[in-house]
């Protein structure tokens, strides 16, 4: 009897010790999590600074260089980096992407994905055709005469009016969040805001579809995929931006996309009157051009986002960036995005030093 009592007492003491140890461990883990969250909150406050970190995930990956990049980005006050993810990257760049996410998280930065050229329906990097679209000609956007709509940058586009296109994007989104620790997605410059005479569009709208119908199709498509994300992955963020050159009416309509956290535009960080090399007339952010998107986002209970385009920058345009960036930072931008050492810049180090100096004022 005494032996059983002794063993019972030992059992009780052991149980208490295990519970205390587990409690201390849980408390410690909670403290680490809280400290990490506090660090992010202290860095970001109301505003969120994001850097497009394109192409480092492809092919040659030097770990020391990526670590150096992460230090530069964190020192500039960057809250997140965004990686472009192609359809092919799920196999061809899996380890590269995983490494970048790990290194970014180490310095307290989130990592966001830009679905790139998926079905040809969005932008991103690099400028390549969609494998899905090539293999599924029945989904192609067509011209009125029945010929395939073609772009000089990435070729054919799959119709967002096709259920096959939607299911393809949804399946890849599921795979993306299940495979990697991405914080969210950014729908970058949708390429489907133009007339669509595909069989799916004709079946839905009749033989003479209108631009209003196609814009609404975009609203419906992205509302649907965003809802799927928020339902299956409720902690992930969703963002959407278009050219700053779009007209007021299109902006108002697209700002009705549901289940979006951020809505905005991309363009040069100066006024159109300043000149410079523009991708398209009116694709600038200063003055009313960028403000229209901020107002549209806030009017629809979303946060605003603006991507300042510092890529493809000739030396002669650097003074325009240097002059315009301080003015841009005075705007009420909830999420500001910049390119980190992007393509085709004549003086990259000089440009990035100017940007880093100004980013200190984005708070």
Specify the CATH number for the domain of residue 100. Answer: 3.20.20.80
Same domain, residue pair 266 and 341: yes
- Spell out the alpha helix ranges (H) of 256-307: 288-299
Same domain, residue pair 273 and 171: yes
| Domain ranges, residue 29 | 1-44
Same domain, residue pair 155 and 300: yes
User: Which among 16, 122, 47 has a CA at the least distance from the CA of 337?
Assistant: 47
Query: 237-249, pLDDT tens digit by residue?
Result: 999 999 999 999 9
Q: What average pLDDT does this structure show over 33-38? A: 37
Collect contacts of 58-65 with beta carbons under 8 A, ≥24 apart. Answer: 58/89, 58/92, 58/93, 58/96, 58/126, 61/96, 61/99, 63/99, 63/103
Instruction: Please determine, for residue 34, whether its predicted confidence score (pLDDT) is greater than 90.
Output: no
Same domain, residue pair 21 and 121: no
Report which of residues 207 and 46 the model is more confident about: 207
Same domain, residue pair 187 and 82: yes
Instruction: Please determine, for residue 41, whether its predicted confidence score (pLDDT) is greater than 50.
Output: no
The reported pTM is 0.86
Same domain, residue pair 208 and 247: yes
Same domain, residue pair 179 and 302: yes
| Mean pLDDT for all residues in the chain | 89
Instruction: Please determine, for residue 29, whether its predicted confidence score (pLDDT) is greater than 50.
Output: no
Count structural domains, the chain. Answer: 2
Confidence grade of residue 46 (pLDDT, cut at 50, 70, 90): confident
Q: What average pLDDT does this structure show over 294-305? A: 98
Instruction: Please determine, for residue 4, whether its predicted confidence score (pLDDT) is greater than 80.
Output: no
Query: 130-184, pLDDT tens digit by residue?
Result: 999 999 999 999 999 999 999 988 899 999 999 999 999 999 999 999 999 999 9
- Position 59 scores a pLDDT of 78
């Amino acid at each position: 009897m005494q032996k059983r009592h002794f063993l019972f007492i030992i059992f009780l003491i052991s149980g208490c010790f295990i519970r205390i140890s587990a409690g201390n461990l849980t408390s410690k883990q909670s403290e680490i999590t809280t400290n990490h969250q506090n660090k992010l909150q202290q860095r970001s406050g109301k505003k969120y600074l994001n850097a497009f970190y394109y192409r480092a995930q492809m092919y040659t990956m030097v770990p020391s260089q990526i670590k150096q990049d992460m230090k530069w980005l964190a020192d500039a006050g960057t809250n997140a980096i965004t990686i472009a993810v192609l359809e092919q990257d799920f196999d061809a760049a899996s380890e590269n992407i995983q490494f970048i996410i790990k290194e970014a998280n180490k310095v307290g930065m989130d990592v966001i994905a830009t679905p790139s050229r998926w079905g040809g329906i969005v932008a991103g990097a690099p400028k390549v055709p969609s494998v899905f679209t090539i293999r599924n000609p029945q989904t192609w956007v067509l011209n009125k005469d029945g010929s395939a709509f073609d772009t000089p940058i990435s070729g054919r586009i799959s119709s967002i009016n096709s259920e096959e296109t939607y299911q393809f994007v949804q399946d890849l989104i599921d795979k993306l969040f299940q495979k990697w620790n991405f914080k969210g997605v950014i729908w970058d410059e949708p390429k489907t805001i133009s007339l669509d005479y595909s069989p799916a569009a004709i079946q839905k709208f009749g033989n003479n579809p209108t631009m209003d119908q196609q814009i609404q199709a975009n609203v419906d498509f992205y509302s649907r995929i965003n809802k799927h994300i928020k339902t299956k992955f409720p902690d992930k963020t969703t963002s959407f931006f278009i050219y700053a050159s779009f007209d007021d009416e299109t902006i108002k309509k697209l700002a009705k996309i549901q289940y979006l956290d951020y809505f905005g535009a991309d363009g040069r960080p100066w006024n159109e009157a300043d000149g410079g090399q523009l991708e398209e007339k009116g694709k600038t952010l200063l003055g009313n051009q960028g403000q229209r998107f901020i107002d549209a986002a806030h009017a629809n209970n979303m946060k605003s986002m603006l991507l300042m385009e510092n890529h493809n920058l000739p030396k002669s345009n650097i003074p325009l960036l240097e002059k315009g960036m301080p003015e841009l930072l005075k705007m009420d931008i909830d999420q500001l995005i910049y390119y980190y050492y992007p393509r085709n810049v004549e003086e990259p180090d000089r440009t990035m030093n100017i940007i880093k100096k100004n980013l200190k004022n984005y708070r």
